Structure 1
């Protein structure tokens, strides 16, 4: 009886030891598994932190390349305007956009070498009122207001095209200016009726220029001045009409088939006037 009891207790103890060993083994396996999982998760986390974000990540705004700095055009523009002004301040002839040589005079302004031709008038005004058509004839049958409008349009166009400095303008001459540059041109070398009848004007520049290198300062067509006085005579003028001192007062809006004009060019500062030559034939 006692033997059987002891044997039973031994079996029970053996079972308990076996269970304990099994429990310890299971615990060890679980610990090893947990350690392996922890290591794997740590490696994944480090790998994720080091990996770059995808380029199309909506949370990261795209950084655009900076635009190259643009140099301001103002200094270049100012430099060009300064050069243009310096050119016009020089005491020498200048050719304008119509191809007209603007002759520098010692009096301090420029004057057109020729009377305004019909081709030039047509280019600016898109019209030709002349009774005697011819592209190189001086324009005729023009009123004072039309001649003044021609000067304004020529001025505005050249300033807009950066061909004329601001402050400079074309205009009709004053009588004092006309008396200065007319010079005592020889009537035999002028398009007038003084030495015989003429039927019409002639191409500008037919005869030699005067001492200022200006053509047709006497004859061809009367030259309008800015106070509506015409000077110089025309192709049909004779006797006293061709004398330098003769003044022809024209009605402002009336057209005359032997009246045209010549332009002068000057700056805002005006001109230095000099004494006019003594009147004569």
Structure 2
């Protein structure tokens, strides 16, 4: 915006002061090392500026300004924010060019009747900080919190101090001056005070704990506050190692653990017929009868297999320095056939119920996985943390599809669903309703169906041993595998109408939430074997998101919960059958 000037300064006189020796007694040199001429500009006005061939900054005195000029200059411009710029031509006043070491008097006047605008006595300061949540103190007074990291306020003219502080950063202090001129904003970027720690260990897949909390796996690099910390390297079946470190601000420290020492025991396997293959945790280790030495302590799944015979599967606990024993006789295939009425097709089974309705189930092989907020799970909620290792030691079967309304109807003789359709998932069923349904289903089929444990549900949703690390069950493209808020048209859809996940299971993401057996509770960072959730609580777990939820609620690690009696048009169930 341009400024409109309504007033002009006036030259009253300009002359040589031949008896004034100030230019000699208070000299200032020009570029030729000669004394400058001194022009004393008489005007009772603050904030006057001068432009032209002048040497150095003018000096403001009481009622006048001293302006130094080199020999031969004949013009001077006078500037003030409230007046039109004034150009003084020395020839107009009979002076011409100024001489070295001579003093001149230029007398100016303001228009009659003019008054100076009242000065506010102060101006704004402007301060920008990073990080934006830093605490700012001006002249010892803490400023109102700013969400954008920018601060400004009116301050009186003069010198002022600031201090900027933030947790994990080195504070910074300084000063600035407030005047009537524009102020250049002060930018203060704090430097992190955190120390950087890098941890290595030659043993693979070792978990790292800092101050008793899991922070990930080794190798690991991260930031820690100054002070003492306990650093631990842990792996199931191995002896842990600990280091205490004392960090200073901005220190860089490398922590190298030695190779972890395995804690081992032995396993004796004596099965007939001789020559049966022995598998430990899915890996073939030899044939029976034999003693297998040097097995890591902990729970292991042991399978004994031989062509023409059924497989015997056991969970064995190996203790340090001790020998566990397994013995038995494998049954021939003829005597280990599938129960009457159950048909096998690879890793799937189909169990008839009645009236032509059957239950298709998919086998999930036992294994170990990381449960919770793994890196591919974007924007995890706090109840998904910490991510932790879970081992499931037994195979199990899980429903290929969510329980349909047709299946519920044939077992219960009713259909409580809001959206009706035989092949739609049943909904508006509480956790308690589901257990009544399962009890009747087991009476009809002679099987032992149940709700999945939360860890079983997530392991199957992630694809079990065939997992490809997707964020949703079967894909990173949610629309490929799920009916959810953005594509469901606000209703459920026929089960199995989207793509299956890696195990051939449908709709574990979206369509309807699925009740799990567990009480809802917080995660622990420690490794777990066959976890069953909290011991008690008020809510039961539900998993998988629904047609009513957005993408964040459909991730395989997302957790939901409700009271056991709650019914909703977006909550159903999926069945599990233990081997």
Residues 123-161 of structure 1: per-residue CA shift (max 9 Å, x gap)? 0011111011111100000010111121121112112xx
1:105 maps onto 2:105 in alignment: no
Q: 1:130 to 1:89 in 2, by over 3 A?
A: closer
Q: 2:545 aligns with which of 219, 226, 233?
A: 233
Q: How does 1:72-221 map to 2 (within 5 A)?
A: 83-84=337-338, 92-97=347-352, 98-107=357-366, 108-159=395-446, 164=447, 169-183=448-462, 184-186=473-475, 187-196=478-487, 198-221=489-512
State whether residues 192 and 242 of structure 1, in contact with CA within 8 Å, keep that contact through their aligned partners in structure 2: no
Give 1:121 shift: 0.3
TM-score where L is the length of structure 2: 0.29
Alignment correspondent of 2:79: none
Alignment correspondent of 1:247: 559
State whether residues 192 and 237 of structure 1, in contact with CA within 8 Å, keep that contact through their aligned partners in structure 2: no
Give 1:194 shift: 4.9
Q: Compare CA radii of gyration and give the structure with the larger one.
A: 1
Provide the rounded CA distance (Å) in 1 between the counterparts of 2:488 and 2:430: 25
Alignment correspondent of 2:576: 264
Q: 1:84 to 1:122 in 2, by over 3 A?
A: same
TM-score where L is the length of structure 1: 0.59
Structure with a larger share of its residues in strand: 2
State whether residues 191 and 202 of structure 1, in contact with CA within 8 Å, keep that contact through their aligned partners in structure 2: no
State whether residues 202 and 220 of structure 1, in contact with CA within 8 Å, keep that contact through their aligned partners in structure 2: yes
Provide the rounded CA distance (Å) in 1 between the counterparts of 2:345 and 2:488: 43
CA RMSD, 1 decimal? 2.6
Provide the rounded CA distance (Å) in 1 between the counterparts of 2:497 and 2:487: 16
Structure with a larger share of its residues in helix: 1
Unmatched segments (≥5 aa) in structure 2: 1-333, 367-394, 463-472, 519-539
Residues 90-121 of structure 1: per-residue CA shift (max 9 Å, x gap)? 97321111322111111211111100000100
Provide the rounded CA distance (Å) in 2 between the counterparts of 1:89 and 1:207: 24
Provide the rounded CA distance (Å) in 1 between the counterparts of 2:361 and 2:344: 13
Provide the rounded CA distance (Å) in 1 between the counterparts of 2:344 and 2:408: 27
The number of residue pairs the alignment matches comes to: 181
Q: 1:197 to 1:203 in 2, by over 3 A?
A: closer
- 94-103 or 124-133, which deviates more: 94-103
Relative contact order (C-alpha < 8 Å, sep 6+): which is higher?
Answer: 1
Provide the rounded CA distance (Å) in 2 between the counterparts of 1:91 and 1:174: 24
Provide the rounded CA distance (Å) in 1 between the counterparts of 2:564 and 2:343: 32
Provide the rounded CA distance (Å) in 2 between the counterparts of 1:170 and 1:226: 12
Provide the rounded CA distance (Å) in 1 between the counterparts of 2:577 and 2:343: 10
Provide the rounded CA distance (Å) in 2 between the counterparts of 1:123 and 1:194: 30
